[in-house]
Structure 1
C-alpha cells in the first residue's frame, strides 16, 4: 500500500494524508494514476512549450542555469531505454496544454497525453485495457474520465475535472 495523496480543491496543491500516528493508506492504483497523470513528464524536443521559451525562469524572471523549461524528473534521461527503444519517463505532458485554447484538437491531445502516461500499466501487466473520455463542461473545465480494467478483471474509474481548474486557464 502507498501513502494517500489528496489534492486541495482550493488550488493546485497535493499532499500526503495523515492518519495519526501514521500516513493514511490508499489503493496503490489510484496513487500510481495520480503520479502518472499529474507529474510533469519531460517535453519532447519538438514540443512547443507553453511560454515559448526553452529555459527555466526563476521567480524573478531570470534564467536558471542548468534547468530546462522542458521540465520532467531529473533522473529520466539516466534510465535505460525500454526494449522497443523508447524512453521510460515518469509523468504526463498534460502541462504543455496550460495555455491552449479549447478545441477538439486540444481534447484529443488531453486523451493522447493521458494514454501515453498510463500505457505503462498495460506494459507492466497491471491492466488489460485503458479507456479515456474527454469533455468540456459548461463552466469551461476539462473532464477526463479514465477507466482501467485491472488484470484480474476489476474496473477502476477516475474522474479528473478538478485538476485543471487552476492549472489550465483555458481561453474561449
Structure 2
C-alpha cells in the first residue's frame, strides 16, 4: 500500500496533495514522510518558549503520551533572529523530526544541511540514504518571519 503523494509548494510555503485527473496520486512515500515530519507542528517541549506568547504548544492531540510524536519543532523558530544559534536549532529540529525514519528502518541515515540562503530565507537540504544504497536529496526553503 502506498501513501497519498504530498509535494512541497514553495510559492505557498506548504505541502499539498498531488491530483491526477479526479484521483489523488499515490507513491513517493519517502518524500511524503519527510514532508509530514518536517512541516507538521510537533508539540513544544515544556522548556520551549512559544514564539507568539500564547502558551499554545501546538502539536497533534493524538501525540499525547506517544513514544514518537509527529512533526517538527521548526515552528518555534518564528520571530527568532537570523543567527548561527537559530541555524543550529533548525538543524537540531530537522534531525529530531526525521529520526523515526531511521529508527523504523525506512532509511539508513540522513545528511542535513542548513544555511541562511539570503536575508530572511532559511534553506535546508535533506539527503536520505535508503536501505538499498540509493539516495534522495531534497532542498527546502522558508521565508523567514524572524528579525534580522
**Normalised by the size of structure 2, how large is the TM-score?**
0.92
Give the corresponding residue for 2:108: 128
Provide runs of 4+ in structure 1 moved above 6 Å. Answer: none
Cα offset for 1:13? 4.1
Instruction: State whether residues 7 and 32 of structure 2, in contact with CA within 8 Å, keep that contact through their aligned partners in structure 1.
Output: no
Cα offset for 1:30? 0.1
Give the corresponding residue for 2:39: 38
Give the corresponding residue for 1:23: 24
SS in 2 for 1:119: helix
Instruction: Work out whether 1:152 is the aligned partner of 2:106.
Output: no
**Higher gyration radius (CA):** 1
Give the corresponding residue for 1:141: 121
- What do you get for the CA RMSD once the two structures are aligned? 1.5
Give the 3 Å change call, closer, same or farther, for CA 155–105 of structure 1 in structure 2: same
Cα offset for 1:26? 3.3
Distance (whole Å) between structure 1 residues aligned to residue 9 and residue 28 of structure 2: 19
**Normalised by the size of structure 1, how large is the TM-score?**
0.80
**Partner deviation per Cα, 1:45-68 (whole Å, 9 max, x = no partner):** 0100001231xxxxxxxxxxxxxx
Question: Which aligned pairs between 1:96-111 and structure 2 lie closer than 5 A?
Answer: 96-111=76-91
Distance (whole Å) between structure 2 residues aligned to residue 127 and residue 8 of structure 1: 24
Q: How many residues matched?
A: 147
